[in-house]
Amino acid sequence: MAKMIPAAISPSVKSPAERKIYEWFKTDPVTKDWVVFHSLGIENHQTVVFGEIDFLVCASELGVFALEVKGGRIARRDGIWVYTDKYGIEHEKARGPFEQASEGMFSVKEELKNRSESKSVQNALCGYGVMFPDIVYDNSDIDIAQEEIFDRRDGQFVGKYIKRLADYNKNKFLQKKVFVVYPSETDIGDIVNVLRKDFDKALPLSTKVEYAENNLISLTEEQYRCIDGLAGNKRCLISGGAGTGKTVLAIKNAKESVAAGKKLGFFCYNLLLEKELHRHFEDTDLKPAYIGSLTNYCEQLVKKHSLFDFSKITDAAEFYKKKLPEYALDAIILEGIKFDKIILDEAQDLMTPEYLLVLDSFLEGGLKRGEWYFFGDFDYQTIYNRGITDGHVVEMLEEEAGFATFHLTLNCRNTVNIQQEMNKIVGVSAETLSKDKNAPEVRYIQFRDSGEEKDLLTEEIKKLLAAGIKPSEITILSAFKREKCVVNKITKYKIDPAGAESKNITYSTIQGFKGLENTVIILCDILTYNKPDLMYVGMSRARSLLVVLESEHACKYRKSLQIQK
């Protein structure tokens, strides 16, 4: 059975022919160890990859084959291709499926030559074919070889078809005395690494309101290894620092899980991240059964069954940590909820015995036998669950179940300058994907009192806007709530709460902005550096530019520790 990329076909793929062929490649025993791409990326956009290839088959000892799929009735009249849809309506196209497949194949060949130094990869046998699963295609076109055609007579035997296609191309090249390589298993691995980034794309996690920016990013080799590991394990713990792509991978896996027909619960901790996650599932058929905050979900259930009067809460921290999960267990029994799978982002803030019981209760098979993936940073972002460590989490989960572990190390979000400052202040040791030292330096601005800080913040905003930074690309963070923050004194600029549908500058507490990011982050009200986990979360939210407004006392403390460059 082939390894399919993506691992499940999206419900948004409307072509019954493509859906059938996807399943045939996935289940045919002949395709074992093959890799088959279907042109659908992480963000569920049908992508234009190498001339709109429907399927790209990479098979060791055979070759790489671009396949065009045409379902329903098809005809060619006077050189014009005529397609009849399920409603009986005819559609004419001058460009035929064989031309499309051929163009796709040559595009792939060109990519392999340009992006690989391996001669065996550059010269790998490439071919193309067209698949008509609904009809018998018996046209005697002089420019089309029957070996290139898959039709109803082939049944479901897609593996046999690819072998036939490989033999045809092998003989064709031998007759023409053209040198080609029949790729080994290692060559196929290299080919997949070259091409995979063109198929799997993701939107960066961003608080920008202009969400339609479609700034697609490619995943790293480390993230691909993690994706492959997830596909082979029902229960996984994925850890990594800020910016290593945990949430991007969680979103990808969530979409593939829903596409596979699973009733999925996709949980996080904070409410701003909940809003951001919802944006990644807008206008798609791949929305999980539930997306959002686990504590919010528990609260909704308890309120639905009238198990507690929330107006009587006296100690909110204690209630949400201890009491809410207790009431939620009763509500889950009354509701009769069972998820086929759970994905937990920000797991470091939810890994308590109380909430593990909640997760265990509404997961089919429980934590021991059920399917779950937990993503978290257990070293530096445990600001809501201090004292918990990576080792502690592993011990807790090992008491419940067996699971695989993966660790992401490469920071894909921050510039090298921001990471270096985090390394000094927080005491971390991490590398960034970007090595560009021409990126803006982290700027520290000192203030003597709140009045001066207000003036300095106002001036800094003025400079950023004059430099062409959009207001929506700026987020101001503080450890304090807004009423106690310097932002509350700013009158010249409109500053909205983060997460609001706004094109203005936004504000959030550092705690509330965890898991999110923006182009420019201004950290204000920094009176001390003695809470490294809070500083780590705040600093790591900046993609390109970080500005820190610090008190004179905090500045002296920073310099005394020799953490200034």
Q: What is the pLDDT of residues 2-12, one digit of tens each?
A: 999 888 887 77
Query: Which whole number is the average pLDDT over 454-459?
Result: 96
Query: Which whole number is the average pLDDT over 29-34?
Result: 93
- Of 213 and 245, the structure prediction assigns the larger pLDDT to 245
For residue 211, is pLDDT > 50?
no
Give me Rg for the CA atoms of the chain.
Answer: 27
Predicted pLDDT of residue 142:
59
Predicted pLDDT of residue 215:
65
Q: For 260-307, write each residue's pLDDT tens digit.
A: 899 999 999 989 999 989 988 886 788 999 999 999 999 999 999 999
Predicted pLDDT of residue 42:
57
Predicted pLDDT of residue 285:
81
The whole-angstrom separation of Cα 174 and Cα 137 is 27
Q: Is 193 exposed, middle or buried (0-12, 13-18, 19+ CB in 10 A)?
A: middle
- With contact defined as beta carbons under 8 Å apart, do 513 and 541 qualify? yes
Q: For 348-371, write each residue's pLDDT tens digit.
A: 888 888 999 999 999 999 999 999
The whole-angstrom separation of Cα 231 and Cα 226 is 9
- With contact defined as beta carbons under 8 Å apart, do 512 and 272 qualify? yes
For residue 347, is pLDDT > 80?
yes
Length of the chain: 565
- Of 434 and 460, the structure prediction assigns the larger pLDDT to 460
User: What confidence category does residue 323 fall into, taking pLDDT thresholds of 50, 70 and 90?
Assistant: very high
Q: For 409-452, write each residue's pLDDT tens digit.
A: 999 889 999 998 888 888 888 888 887 778 899 999 999 999 99
Question: 275-281 long-range contacts, Cβ below 8 Å, gap at least 24?
Answer: 275/499, 276/205, 276/207, 276/499, 276/515, 276/516, 277/247, 277/251, 277/345, 279/211, 280/43, 280/203, 280/251, 281/254, 281/255
Predicted pLDDT of residue 532:
85
**Could you check whether the bond before residue 440 is cis, i.e. omega within 30 degrees of 0?**
no
Q: What is the DSSP string of 35-102?
A: EEEESB-TT--B---TTT-SEEEEETTTEEEEEEE--SEEEEETTEEEEE-TTS-EEEESS-HHHHHH
3-state secondary structure 21-37: HHHHHHHCHHHCCCEEE
Predicted pLDDT of residue 46:
46
Query: Which whole number is the average pLDDT over 84-109?
Result: 80
- Of 212 and 167, the structure prediction assigns the larger pLDDT to 167
Distances (CA, A) of 550 to 422, 424, 553: 15, 16, 8
On average, the pLDDT of the chain sits at 87
Q: For 112-158, write each residue's pLDDT tens digit.
A: 998 899 999 999 999 999 999 998 887 766 567 889 999 999 999 99
Predicted pLDDT of residue 21:
95
Q: What is the 8-class DSSP label of residue 124?
A: B
For residue 324, is pLDDT > 90?
yes
Domains of the chain: 3-198 (no CATH), 200-411 (3.40.50.300), 416-560 (3.40.50.300)
Predicted pLDDT of residue 207:
61
Q: For 512-564, write each residue's pLDDT tens digit.
A: 998 899 999 999 999 999 888 899 999 999 999 999 999 999 998 888 765 54
CB neighbour burial string for 212-233, b if at least 16 within 10 angstroms, e if fewer: eeeeebebbebbbebbeebeee
Distances (CA, A) of 288 to 255, 266, 343, 485: 8, 7, 10, 37
Angle at 286 between CA 280 and CA 288, to 5 degrees: 85
Query: Which whole number is the average pLDDT over 215-240?
Result: 87
The two structure tokens encoding residue 36: 């088959």
Predicted pLDDT of residue 176:
81
Angle at 240 between CA 235 and CA 244, to 5 degrees: 115
For residue 212, is pLDDT > 60?
no
The whole-angstrom separation of Cα 86 and Cα 65 is 28
Angle at 235 between CA 231 and CA 237, to 5 degrees: 100
Q: What is the 8-class DSSP label of residue 339?
A: B
Query: Which whole number is the average pLDDT over 200-222?
Result: 67
Predicted pLDDT of residue 254:
94
- Of the listed ranges 63-77, 286-300, 472-486, 512-526, the least confidently predicted one is 63-77
For residue 493, is pLDDT > 80?
yes
Predicted pLDDT of residue 382:
60
Predicted pLDDT of residue 40:
54
The two structure tokens encoding residue 4: 């399919």
**Proportion of the chain above pLDDT 90, given as a percent:** 55
